[in-house]
Structure 1
Amino acid sequence: MKLLPSRLRDRRPSAALLVSVSALLVALGGTSYAAVKIQTSDIANGAVTSAKIKNETIGSNDVRDGSLRPRDFSGNLPAGPQGPQGPQGPQGPAGVSRWALVDSSGAIISQSGGFSVTTAYPTLANTSPEGTPSNALRANGNVYINAGEDLSNNGIIATIALQNTVDLNGDAITNGRAMGADANPEFSGEIAVSQCGTPITACAPAGTGNTNHLVVSPRNSDGSPTADGQRKRFYVIVTGDSTDPVTATP
C-alpha cells in the first residue's frame, strides 16, 4: 500500500473550508426545492379535506370572492334550521261585521251570510177591542230579520242607504237639492233597530219574539212611517261574537 506523503497526511480541512462547503450545499438544495415546488395540478381533486386544514390558518384574503357557496347555489342562501314555535296569539273575534243590504221592498239583495227576512212591512190581525181604531198596521213600518244566531252578545247597527235613481216623492228631483222638510227622501230619513225578544222591544209578528231576530224601522225624516212607494233601503250590521250561529228560519 502506497502511503501519502507525510505533509498531506497531517493536512486537515480548515473551518473556513467547511463553512464554504456547507453554504454551497444549502444553495444547491434551495434551487432543487424551487424546481420541485408543488403546483395546483399536482393535487388530486378532493385530496385536501377540511380535516387536513388546521383551524384558523386560512383567512378571507386567501379565498376568492364567491368561491365558498353551496354546490347548487342559485343566488339565495340556504334556509337555516327551524326555530322554536312562538306562543299563540290572542283569539280574535269571529264573524265581526256580518251585514245585509235590504231593498225598499224589504227583501235582502246582498249579504255576508246568515240573514233571512221573516216578514217585511206586515199587516197584522186587528187585536183592538171592538169600537176602537184598528191596530193592524202596528208593524207595517218595520222589517223583521232572522240573524241566524242569538244576538244577546252582539251589537246591531242599521243605516239608510241612499237611492238617488228613484224619485220617492214624485217631485222630479233626485239629486238631494230640493228645499223643505223631508224634501229629499232619496237621501234622508230616520232608522231604528233593536233585538227582539227582550223586555225593551216587543216584536209582534209570529215567530219573531226571540233573541235570534232583529227589527228595523226605516222612517221619514219627521219620524212618520213610510208607505208603499216611499220605502227606504238600508244596511243592517251585526258586530261582535258570531261563534254561536244557528240555522236561519225564514
Structure 2
Amino acid sequence: MTNPPFLTSAALAGTRHGFLGREGGVSTGIFASLNVGLGSGDDRAALAENRRRAVEAVAPGATLVTLHQVHSNIAVPVTGAFADDARPHADALVTATPGLVLGILTADCVPILFADTHAGVIGAAHSGWKGTLTGVAAAAVAAMEALGADRANIAAAVGPCIAQRSYEVDSGFRDRFLADDPEHDRFFIPGKPGHFQFDIEAMVASRLAAEGLRHIELLGQDTYAQPDRYFSFRRTTHAGEGDYGRQLSVIALG
C-alpha cells in the first residue's frame, strides 16, 4: 500500500504537514476514496482507515485531533485528542504539545495551517465564507499567541479551496461583505447578471496579512475544478448527489 499523496508548503518548512485530497483511501462510490468526514454517511470503518492512512502519510505515530466544525470564529487550544462525539464545536485549533497532529476538514472551504517554529506552536483553521468574514484566522493567531507564539514569526499556508472562477454568488451574498467593509469589493468580479465571482482565497490571504503575518503561501488549487483530486461540496450539489466527502489538512510539531 502506498501512502496517500499530499501537498506541502515551503512556508511551513520545519513542520510535518500536508494538504491531502481524495486519493489513496478505501471509501467507494461518491466518497471514493480518502473521505475523512465523520459528518458524511460513509462507512465508519472506512472513515477510520482513511483517517489512519492520512496521519501515517504525513506524521507517522502522531495522534489526530479534529473538531466539530460549525463555520464559527472560535479557536481552541488542545493538549490531547477528543472522542468523536465530544469534539469541540469550533473551527480552529492550536497546540504546543508534541505528538499531536491537528486536522481540518474541507470540501471547498479554505484550510489554513500555521506554524511558529521558534516557539514550537502550530495551528489549523477551517475558513468558510462565514469564518473568513467573522475572523477565524485572527482567532487562530490570537490562540497561538496565548501559547507563546509571536505573530511576527507565524507562517501560514492556504490550502486547496474553491477558486474565484468556480465560486459564483448572488448580489445578496456580496452585500453582506460590503456591509462589513466596502473594501471587500475587491474580492468580487462581475459574473452573469445579478451574480459575482468571489475570491475567498485572496480574502483569506488578506485577513492573514492584516494580522501581521509576513510569511503566507497560497497553494492555488481549485477543489471544484479537479474532481479526481478533491472533494467539492458545490460540485456535489450541482451534480445532484445527496452527500459528499471531505479531505484533510494536517500539521504536527517536528
- Flag whether TM exceeds 0.5 (same fold): no
The two structures have a TM-score, normalised by structure 2, of 0.21
Bigger CA radius of gyration: 1
Please state which structure has a larger fraction of its residues in helix: 2
Please state which structure has a larger fraction of its residues in strand: 2
